[in-house]
Amino acid sequence: MDELIKKLKVQLIEILNLSDVTPEDFDENAQLVGGDLGIDSIDVLEIVVMVEKEYGVVINNKEIAEKVFTSLASLAEFIVKSSPTSSS
């Protein structure tokens, strides 16, 4: 999980061009959307595309999305839970 969180931080910084944020600054438990980073609905959709492309995990339901995007940690948790490659 820690590895995934680390990787997600790098990926989010890259796709959202958070050029003034380092992975060390990125608090995985902080509010992800509408928080200090200024992440909004368009960014969320960009993350949705990335998560599907990189992890094969589809997020297409508003209620689920709201929970998943609470924080980076909750996103990582959802990916682990839903990943087609995860142990099942």
Partner 1 sequence: MSDQTKIIYIAGIGIISPLGCGADATEQTLRKDRSAIAPLNAKVFPIQQPPPLPVGQVTDLPDSPLPRTHRLTIAAAREAMSGYSCVPDAVIIGTTTGGILTTEELLIKEEKDSKKYRYHGLTTVAEELADAVNCTGPALTVSTACSSGAIAISMALKMLQSGEEEWILAGGADSLCRLTYFGFHSLQLVDPKGSRPLDANRAGMSVAEAAGLLLLSTIKPKNPLGQILGCGLSCDAYHPASPHPKGKGAFQAMRNAINDARSNARAVHYINLHGTGTPDNDLAESKAIRSLFATPPPLSSIKGATGHSLAASGAIEAIISSICIQKGFLPANTGCIEPDPELNLKPILVPSNQPVSVVLSNSFGFGGNNACLLIGKADTPPSPSPEPERLPGPFTILGKACITGAGHTKESMERFAKLESIAGTLDLDSISEQLPVRKIRRLKRFSRIALALVEAAKQDSGLKQSPHSVFMGSGWGALSDTYDFLNKLQNSNEKFSSPIDFVGSVHNSATGNIAILHDATGANVTCSGGDYSFEQALLAADNFLTDTAETAFVLAADETNEHYSPLFDPSIDANAPLADGGGAFYLTRKAIPGKPALELIFYQKQVENSVNKLITTLGKYSSQEEYHMILAGIPASDASDGEAQLDEFMKKTGLDIPVIHYRKFTGEFAAASSVAAVMATYLLEENIVEAGKKILVLGFGKNLTAMKFSKQTA
- Residues near partner 1 (CB under 8 A) are 15-20, 38, 40-43, 45-46, 48-49, 52-53, 60
Between residues 18 and 73, which has the closer beta carbon with respect to partner 1? 18
Compute the distance between CA of residue 40 and CA of residue 33 in angstroms, rounded to an integer: 6
Polymer length of the chain: 88
Between residues 1 and 52, which has the closer beta carbon with respect to partner 1? 52
* DSSP secondary structure code for residue 19 in this structure: T
Between vectors from CA 64 to CA 24 and to CA 28, what angle results, nearest 5°? 10
**Which amino acid belongs to residue 30?**
A
Report the nearest approach of partner 1 to the CB of residue 87 (Å).
26
Report the nearest approach of partner 1 to the CB of residue 53 (Å).
5
Report the nearest approach of partner 1 to the CB of residue 50 (Å).
9
